[in-house]
Amino acid sequence: MACIDPVVISCVTKHECGSQTLQRVAKQLQLYKSPDVDGDQDQNDLGGGPICAINDTTTARNEQFSSADWRKRRAAVLICLFEGPQGELRVILTKRSMKLSSYPGDVALPGGKTEEGDADDSATALREAMEEIGLDSSLVEVVANLEPFISLQQLLKVIPVIGLLDRVEDFKPELNSDEVDSVFDVPLEMFLQV
């Protein structure tokens, strides 16, 4: 986890996550410095995020990056964390539908493109989670946004939104079969091991 936007951090006591583990996570996330995800920097400057590590040799692709309007080419994904039965942090994942034209059958976080009516990146991530897996946004406490990354296939700036699900037992998945084949969860620790 790199940078987190303290402006996006809502008051942890809004829903007052009952789990001490989730409360600690929320407080730790508040310590990160915000990345510039709203395009205040020059739109041709892709910043210091993961895109800088990409070695793309084609001139056409480089021109696409330099001319992209990142404010219009935006998406968000929800990193929805909850406490498992042994007190471990777990994250909700989906298996994308085989019907999709991009990344069919891949394991992914719920999320998608920003729509005109979305107030912010959190609204995008929560709306997409509701549309894809039936996750009611009132169950999720959004605590932070992480540093964006670039989706190369669709040329989108993707903002990961961290949300905490205190009452996982209240989440009753309802899958949109056009977008998702299955929903499951794994220990967050899987992603933190090197």
The residue with tokens 């777990």 is 90
Give the pLDDT of residue 19: 76
Low-confidence ranges of the chain (pLDDT < 50): 1-16, 37, 40-61
Handedness of CA 175, 83, 5, 102 (dihedral sign): negative
Under a CB-based contact definition with an 8 Å cutoff, are residues 156 and 147 in contact?
A: no
Given CATH 3.40.50.170, say whether it is the number of domain 20-38+57-192.
Answer: no
Given the DSSP bridges, would you call strands 156-165 and 74-83 parallel, antiparallel or unpaired?
Answer: parallel
List alpha helices for 30-166, DSSP H: 59-67, 121-133
- Taking alpha carbons only, the member of 103, 116, 109 closest to residue 74 is 116
Please provide residue 174's backbone torsions phi and psi, each rounded to the nearest 5 degrees: -130, 105
Under a CB-based contact definition with an 8 Å cutoff, are residues 149 and 75 in contact?
A: no
How much is the pTM?
A: 0.73
Handedness of CA 151, 156, 157, 163 (dihedral sign): negative
Rounded to a whole number of angstroms, the CA Rg of the chain reads 17
Q: Give me 35's structure tokens.
A: 């990345």
Calpha distance 148→68 (Å, rounded): 15
| 79 CB-near residues (< 8 Å, 6+ apart) | 91, 109, 146, 160, 161, 162, 163
For 135-155, how does the pLDDT look when each residue is reduced to its tens digit (9 = 90+)? 999 999 999 999 998 888 778
Give the pLDDT of residue 73: 84
Domain ranges of the chain: 20-38+57-192
Complete DSSP assignment for 169-181 = GG------TTTEE
Calpha distance 47→24 (Å, rounded): 30
- Taking alpha carbons only, the member of 190, 187, 185, 6 closest to residue 93 is 185
